[in-house]
Amino acid sequence: MEISKKKWTLKDTIVLLRLFIGWHFLYEGVIKLYNPDWTSLGYLASAQGPLQPVFTSLTGNSLLPWVDALNWIALIVVGVTLLLGVFEKVGALVGIGLLSLYYLAHPSFPWLDQVNVEGSYWFVNKNLIELVACIVVIQFPTGHYFGLTRFLNKNNKLTKTKIS
């Protein structure tokens, strides 16, 4: 009797990538939701680069509560979809949108002072790297391999078999 060892595949790696990105987004969203002192005011007010006026305009008293709520809601939605492996393309697309906004608010251009960011970067920072990882998740969805999509597809196949 032969025992076959399962090799670590590209699918397994992309599942792990999807789970890690999902965890990161979910954690950031939940932390913002449950911290009554959290606000995006500092981040938006210190925005730099060509879109600075757009981001600083979002700091008004009437808009800021909406911006804050939409931010943590979107973070949680991305996290849940990627962790559960359901609607992962939509989740990754929303993640790309968020990460694009985060990057554009504080672009890591060498001619700008790095304000309100971790570290000092030249063009490429962690937001841009995670954005590209979300593109990989869109191109190689793995929910059918490891996720709720797999479970839901099995139930659909069983239902179709019973009906026919």
Q: CB-based burial of residue 46 (10 Å sphere; 0-12 exposed, 13-18 middle, 19+ buried)? A: middle
Distance (Å, rounded) from C-alpha 87 to C-alpha 112? 37
Average pLDDT, the chain: 89
What would the pLDDT profile of 9-41 be if each residue is shown by its tens digit? 999 999 999 999 999 999 999 999 999 999 999
What would the pLDDT profile of 137-152 be if each residue is shown by its tens digit? 999 989 888 888 877 7
Residue 3, pLDDT > 70, answer no
pTM: 0.85
More confident call, 129 vs 120: 129
Distance (Å, rounded) from C-alpha 164 to C-alpha 29? 44
Phi/psi for 125 (5° steps) reads -130, -175
With cut-offs at 50, 70 and 90, classify the pLDDT of residue 130. very high
Distance (Å, rounded) from C-alpha 85 to C-alpha 14? 11
